[in-house]
Amino acid sequence: MKFYIAKSRRLRSTPYTSRIENQGVTAYTTYNHMLLPASFGNLEKEYFHLKKHVQIWDVAAERQIQIKGKDATKLVQLMTCRNLSKAKVGRCYYAPIIDEQGGMLNDPVALKLGEDKWWLSLADSDIGLYAKGIASGLNLHVEICELDVNIMAVQGPKSFKLMEKVLGKKITELKFFGFDYYTFKENKFLIARSGWSKQGGFEIYVENREAGQNLYDELFSAGKEFKVEPGCPNLIERIESALLSAGNDFDNGDNPYECGFDKYVDIESNINYLGKKALLKIFKEGIDRKLMGVLIDADKIEVTEEISLYSGDNIAGNLRSATYSPNLKKVVGIAMIQKEYWDKKNSIELKIGDKKSKGKICDLPIVTG
C-alpha cells in the first residue's frame, strides 16, 4: 500500500523543493523536520545511474547546528565519544553522539570551522536541544543555533569532472573529508568532499539560498555532458555500502560498539565526554550483539519495523533495513545479530507472514566500491 505525505510548514520545504518537484520527485521521507526526497520513481534505475554517472541531491535536511564561543570545543567533545582534541580547521569528523548511558543519539559529521566554531551536520534527531540543555546546565559560554544552511550533494563517479567544470581546477585538490571555500559567480560556498554514498562526490553547504539555486541550475546545465540527473540518498546503494542510518539501523537502545563504531570511541585518553564511564563498562564486559549484513533469497521486501531473523527456532537477530539489490539479485540488509551467530556459518530464515526466505549473515559493507 502507498500513502501520500501531508505537507505542512512543520515538514519544512527546502530551497530546492520546487526544482525537484518539477524534475519528477515521487516520494519523500522527513528528516530533521524537513522534506528529504526518497525517490524519483525508479530506485533501481537511480541506483545504476548513481554508480555510473553523477547526480545532484537535495539533502538540505542534513541540518547544521552551529556551536560557537569560547566553550564550543568543550561542548562538542562532551557530546561525542570520538577524540577531537587534535581536530584541524577545515576537516570533517564522523562523530557518534551518545548520552550518559552510552546510548546512541546521532552520528553527525562535525566540521571544525575555527578554534571556537563547529558545525554538526546532523542525522535525524534534535541534537541542538541536547547541546542547549548541556550548555545551560553547565553554564557554558556558547551560542547554539540551527543555521539556514541547505546542502546540495553532487554524487557519483562523474561528480569530479562536473565540479571541476563548474568550480575550477582547485576543487580536484580537496581531500576526502576536507572542506574549503570555493567561488561561483561571486558567491562563496563551503564545499566538503563527502556525501551519503560511496560513489564519490561533494557536499555544498549553501548559505545563500538564491546563490544556491543558481548553482543548482548551473550544475544541471553544465552536467548534461556527464548525464547528470536529480537524485537522492539511494536505499540500495547505502545498504550495500553500509552507510548506517540513525533511526533505522540504530537508535538510543544501542551503543557505539554494537554499531561497529569502535574506532570512533576513545576510552583511553583523558578527554571528557558524557557517557565515558558507561562505555568503559561496556568495553570491559564486551558486547553480545552487533550490526552485520544479511543476504536473503527474496526478490522484494519493505522494512517498517524490526523483523526477526531465525536460526531454527531461535532468534539470531533483528533486521532493521533491507531492500532488493538488482546487482546481487538478493535482498540486502543490515541487522543487529546476536553473538552466537557472528561466525557467519549459520543460515538464517526470515518469516514475513506465511512466507519464509533463507539467507546468510555477512560482514559490512556488503559491497565494496
Q: Which stretches of the chain bind its own copies, using CB under 8 A?
A: 1-13, 17, 21, 25-30, 33, 38-39, 99-100, 105, 124-127, 129-138, 146, 245-248, 252, 274, 302-306, 320-321
Length of the chain equals 369
The radius of gyration computed from the CA coordinates of the chain, to the nearest angstrom, equals: 21
**Residue 285, H or E segment:** helix 276-285
Q: Shortest distance, CB of residue 240 to its own copies, whole angstroms? A: 16
Q: Rounded CA gap, 49 and 51, in Å?
A: 5
Q: How far is CA 187 from CA 121, 153, 178, 179, in A?
A: 21, 17, 20, 16
Specify the residue for cell string 553547565.
Answer: 138
Q: Which residue type does 174 have?
A: L
Integer distance in angstroms from the first to the last C-alpha of the chain?
33
Q: Which of residues 100 and 225 has its CB atom nearest to its own copies in the complex?
A: 100
Nearer to its own copies, 14 or 199 (CB): 14
Is the Cβ of residue 192 or residue 246 nearer to its own copies in the bound state?
A: 246
Residue (120 or 191) nearer to its own copies, CB = 120
Q: Is 28 exposed, middle or buried (0-12, 13-18, 19+ CB in 10 A)?
A: buried
Nearest residue (CB) to its own copies, 6 versus 176: 6
DSSP string, 124-178: SS-HHHHHHHHHHHHT---EEEE---EEEEEESTTHHHHHHHHH-GGGGGPPTTB
Question: Would you call 297 helix, strand, or coil by DSSP?
Answer: coil
Single-letter code of the amino acid located at 130: Y
- Residue 269 or 304: the one with the smaller Cβ distance to its own copies is 304
Could you list the beta-strand ranges (E) of 198-312.
201-206, 229-231, 289-296, 307-311
Nearer to its own copies, 129 or 328 (CB): 129
Q: Which CB atom, from 1 or from 369, has the smaller least distance to its own copies?
A: 1
Shortest separation between residue 302's beta carbon and its own copies, angstroms: 7
Residue of 299, 226, 319 whose CA lies nearest to 44: 299
Q: Which amino acid is at 148?
A: D
